[in-house]
């Protein structure tokens, strides 16, 4: 098999596509012939070395947290998947940028009907993050208002759609260039953060989903209603500010969950959710990582591992 190998932290230009030994699944794992792997911020954050104290890895390692592909083999304890099934999943913290991957069966779901494998490879991490942020941590209810910061990216794009499906009124912050895109996803108000402060537009918000952090998160406390929730995937909200505004702050790490992913797959098959992807060949992995680390991605960027 072929895999991207990281030999040294902080060396984006040092990523190499190498021949490595084929993988063998254990009794509880599924072996996948990978078609595509999504590119996510966690990939370049780990590569930078900034997270090595929290996520220790043996070098070299293969980046990539999510894949889509075809089942090549299953362990003896695996149920629900057979050789030839098309699957996708948030497989773990590494291993996706390769022609083969292994994953525990409970991290996988069958690919949405009618969706190309390459598109499916950009769904699991972002969609699960949006799902868990809104439904598990914010407990979003029909009729509530939600403001999504950084709404045009992978997580934000799914969050806009899931919030609308939940019956919420959806406000977003994004650049003017993404206005039409976000309206097409179901946003009801798009605030151009380059032209106006969101505090001058939004008020009494039930749920703020912070995908940006920093000053944006700090300023968001002023628009959260009493009893409201600020959920961040980027950094823990300040508990003192939460108390001052009689609100709740939450921060979480996304959990891989095959059952939730199957529900998401059903929504995609029913055309209630969609994903916009940019496909790049695995041979251009350095460019893909560099673009991702620069921010301002619309939808998801995925790697075609066979190119």
* pLDDT digits 0-9 by tens, 182-197: 999 999 999 999 999 9
Q: Specify the pLDDT at position 58.
A: 86
What integer pLDDT is reported at residue 98 of this predicted model?
97
Look at residue 292 in the predicted model and tell me its pLDDT.
Answer: 84
What is the pLDDT averaged over residues 48-64?
87
Rounded mean pLDDT of the chain? Answer: 94
pLDDT at 226: 96
Q: What is the pLDDT of residues 293-302, one digit of tens each?
A: 777 778 899 9
Return the bridge partners of 109, or none. Answer: 88
Average confidence (pLDDT) over 232-254: 96
Q: Cα–Cα distances in Å, from 170 out to 27, 222, 259?
A: 44, 18, 26
pLDDT tens, position by position, 84-126: 999 999 999 999 999 999 999 999 999 999 999 999 999 999 9
* Three state DSSP letters for the chain: CEEEEECCCCCHHHCEEEECCCCCCCCCEEEEEEEEEEECHHHHHHHHCCCCCCCCCCCCECCCCEEEEEEEEECCCCCCCCCCCEEEEECCCCCCCECEEEEEHHHEEECCCCCCHHHHCCCHHHHHHHHHHHHHHCCCCCCCEEEEECCCCHHHHHHHHHHHHCCCEEEEEECHHHHHHHHHHCCCEEEECCCCCHHHCCCCEEEEEECCCHHHHHHHHHHEEEEEEEEECCCCCCHHHHHHCCCEEEECCCCCCHHHHHHHHHHHHCCCCCCCEEEEEHHHHHHHHHHHHCCCCCCEEEEECCC
The third-level CATH classification (topology) of the domain covering 2-123+275-304 is Quinone Oxidoreductase; Chain A, domain 1 (3.90.180)
66 in Cβ contact with 40 (< 8 Å): yes
| pLDDT surpassing 80 at residue 13 | no
Domain boundaries, the chain: 2-123+275-304, 126-251
Burial degree of 297 (CB within 10 A; 0-12, 13-18, 19+):
buried
Q: Quote the pLDDT of residue 54.
A: 82
pLDDT confidence of residue 203? 94
- Both tokens assigned to 124: 């699991």
The predicted structure's pLDDT at residue 55: 85
Q: How many CB atoms lie within 10 A of CB 98?
A: 26
Mean pLDDT is lowest, of 6-15, 94-103, 175-184, 244-253, for 6-15
Structure token pair of residue 184: 């097409």
pLDDT in tens, 18-52: 999 999 999 999 999 999 999 999 998 888 888 88
Preceding omega of 186 cis (within 30 degrees of 0): no
Over residues 123-152, mean pLDDT:
97
pLDDT reported for residue 307: 86
Contact 183, 201 (CB under 8 A): no
- Separation of alpha carbons 102 and 17, rounded Å: 18
Q: Position of tokens 């699991």?
A: 124
What pLDDT, on a 0 to 100 scale, did the predictor assign at position 147?
98
Phi, psi (rounded to 5 degrees) for 132: -70, -35
* Residues facing residue 70 across a β-bridge: 33, 86
Angle value at C-alpha 84, between 78 and 89, nearest 5 degrees: 60
pLDDT band at 170 (very low <50, low <70, confident <90, very high): very high
CATH number corresponding to 126-251? 3.40.50.720
Q: Other CB atoms closer than 10 Å to residue 131's CB: what's the count?
A: 21
pLDDT at 298: 87
pLDDT of residue 49: 83
Q: State the pairing for strand pair 29-39/100-104.
A: antiparallel
14, pLDDT greater than 80? no
pLDDT number for residue 151? 95
**pLDDT, greater one: 285 or 12:** 285
Q: What is the pLDDT of residue 278?
A: 94
What's the pLDDT at 61? 92
User: What pLDDT was estimated at residue 104?
Assistant: 98
Task: Report pLDDT for 99.
Answer: 98
């Amino acid at each position: 098999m072929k895999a991207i190998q990281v030999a040294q932290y902080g060396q984006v230009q040092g990523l190499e596509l190498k021949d490595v030994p084929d993988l063998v699944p254990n009794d509880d794992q599924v072996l996948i012939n990978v078609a595509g792997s999504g590119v996510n911020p966690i990939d370049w954050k780990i590569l930078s070395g900034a997270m090595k104290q929290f996520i220790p890895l043996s070098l070299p390692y293969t980046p990539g947290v999510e894949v889509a592909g075809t089942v090549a083999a299953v362990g003896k304890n695996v149920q629900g998947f057979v050789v030839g099934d098309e699957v996708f999943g948030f497989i773990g913290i590494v291993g996706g940028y390769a022609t083969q991957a292994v994953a525990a069966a409970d991290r996988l779901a069958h690919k949405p009907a009618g969706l190309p494998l390459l598109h499916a490879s950009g769904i699991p991490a972002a969609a699960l993050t949006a799902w868990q942020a809104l439904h598990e941590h914010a407990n979003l209810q029909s009729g509530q208002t939600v403001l999504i910061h950084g709404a045009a990216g992978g997580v934000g794009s799914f969050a806009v759609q899931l919030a609308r499906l939940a019956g919420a009124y959806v406000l977003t912050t994004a650049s003017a260039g993404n206005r039409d895109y976000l309206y097409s996803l179901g946003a009801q108000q798009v605030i151009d953060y380059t032209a106006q402060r969101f505090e001058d537009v939004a008020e009494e918000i039930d749920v703020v989903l912070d995908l940006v952090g920093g000053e944006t998160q700090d300023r968001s406390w002023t628009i959260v209603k009493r009893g409201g929730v600020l959920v961040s995937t980027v950094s823990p909200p300040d508990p003192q500010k939460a108390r001052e505004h009689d609100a709740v702050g939450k921060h979480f790490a996304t959990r891989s969950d095959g059952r939730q992913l199957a529900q998401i797959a059903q929504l995609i098959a029913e055309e209630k959710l969609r994903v916009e992807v940019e496909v790049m060949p695995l041979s251009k992995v350095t460019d893909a990582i560099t673009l991702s680390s620069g921010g301002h991605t619309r939808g998801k960027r995925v790697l075609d591992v066979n190119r």
